Amino acid sequence: MATNRMVPLPGSKRAPAMDARRVGAVDESDPIDITLVLRRRAEIPDDLIEGSATISRQELAERYGADPADIDLVRRAVQEHGLHLIEADPATRRVKVRGTLSQLRNLADPESLDLVESRDPATGRMVEHRHREGELRIPADWQNVVVAVLGMDDRPQARPHIHRLKPAAAHRSYTPVELGKIYRFPPNTDGSGQTLAILELGGGFTQADLDTYFSGLGISPTPSVTAVGVDGGSNSPEGDPNGPDGEVLLDIEVAGALAPRARQVVYFAPNTDQGFADALSAAVHATPTPTAVSISWGLNEERWTMQGRAVFDDALADAAALGVTVCVAAGDNGSSDGESDGLPHTDYPAASPRTLACGGTRLDADPATGKITSERVWNNGPRSASGGGVSKFYKQPPWQADVGVPNGSHPSPLRGVPDVAADADPGTGYKVLIDGQSTVIGGTSAVAPLWAALACRLSEALGRPLGLLQPLLYDGATAGTSPAGFRDITQGDIGAFKAGPGWDACTGLGVPDGTELLARLQA
């Protein structure tokens, strides 16, 4: 049990899960895997995160990874208490440890820990899981060395931002290839030489589905897709077109159709804050370093712990320093982000300034010619609309200073979401194949892989990684005007926010004109 040598871990305070109902106590002999995240040797400079320069993974580990002395400190404590050290990685600053709850209390003692049932935001069903409230306490000599402990609480952390087409909503649908034509993806590019990583927190895919889908689009050979398991996650297709496989196959098929020669690596992890953050870190630090990461999962930023967001943000900083562009769905529930309190909320990780937050539109265009009739904000009601708004936690990044982000009554400028957009309305959605069934799917889930594929093609044409794209994309943007490379979306709303000229909290800077954007980046 804990002793007076234990001190509170800043940022670890956890609020109750929604609709949580206690089931019983956690058995002290139950084995649990936790992730300890250690401090950096030095903070990554802003100009390395925000600028065009990149470093190698080895350089990142040596300059900004964990100090070997800190790892040794943790290793000794792990051994002293009879725990199993699974992994210690200086580059990602992660030490993974397995032990019984009784043993782990010597390293990370929760204020309260129970078994509960709560509502899974991904499925809407009640699920049983470990659930802690309040702070964690860690050994006093770990203070300022261990900055986060993840894994004690394994509640579901995120939901996929996917919307399936209702028959009555059918209007027009597109293959991703047709959308590449409509959004004028750069010609003579196909993602060759690039790696595109995708994060998934459930479901899976079969090679048969991929072969059938891509051959139907005339894409041969089938794009390379490899599955990687993180924290016990795996490629586990359920065979249900209406289940979690839909998110996985939507992401792979959109990315593969728009960047068919890019190598895809799909990271499967449990739907917990630990699994989500570890999957991002694994993807960012992989060899070869990916050009882009696509994330179609998220949840209201207020439902994350401070340490959870901090760990995720640190992995995003690693991504930027390594030259990785991280594209994230902005949410599918309008300005409320699915909350019922009547207030606006932004989705995380899209709320982080270190992600390219992707909003959604309703697109009416001719697939054959690429001619656009109209495009407006996607909003079919509060539970089927693009996410967006203003973060409650993140200060405004410098590239948004002049674009007119609304600040309300807050004393300092805050981060506006999204940055960019593309088609997301299921009524004008994406033609995909899910578990052998042809269907149409929408949601900002589709926009993240679309932009990740565009990043791969831009990087291929430029011959260099793009990293954090926003400073480049916002360059020259002012309130009421969008820069070259974007088609401004000025009609529609997401509830609390309306579209207008220039950046807005519905579709950001607008939808891409890939060819014009490449010309601008080449200038």
Q: Dihedrals φ, ψ of 424, to 5°? A: -145, -15
Cβ density class 213-228: b for 16+ within 10 Å, e for less? bbeebebeeebebebb
Q: Is residue 269 within 8 Å of residue 276, measured between CB atoms?
A: yes
Q: Kindly calculate the radius of gyration of the chain based on its CA atoms and give it in whole angstroms.
A: 22
Q: Dihedrals φ, ψ of 35, to 5°? A: -110, 120
Q: Shortest CA distance to 71 belongs to which of 147, 145, 151, 149?
A: 145
In the DSSP assignment, the letter for residue 508 is: B
Cis peptide before 406 (omega within 30 of 0): no
Q: Is residue 194 within 8 Å of residue 456, measured between CB atoms?
A: yes
Residues 6+ apart with CB under 8 A from 523: none
DSSP assignment of 279-321 equals HHHHHHT-SSPPSEEEE-EEEEGGGS-HHHHHHHHHHHHHHHH
First to last CA, the chain: 63
Paired residues of 379 in beta bridges: 385
Quote the tokens at residue 148: 């986060």
Report helix, strand or coil for 389.
strand
CA distance linking residue 278 with residue 284, whole number of Å: 10
Q: Shortest CA distance to 86 belongs to which of 232, 227, 198, 226?
A: 232
Cis peptide before 290 (omega within 30 of 0): no
Dihedral angle at the C-alpha atoms of 129, 133, 138, 143, nearest 10 degrees? 130
Chain centroid to CA 58: 24
List residues with catalytic annotation.
Answer: 247, 251, 445
Quote the tokens at residue 222: 């089938």
Q: Is residue 299 within 8 Å of residue 344, measured between CB atoms?
A: no
Using the structure block, give the residue that is written with the tokens 């080895």: 58
Q: Is residue 440 within 8 Å of residue 173, measured between CB atoms?
A: yes
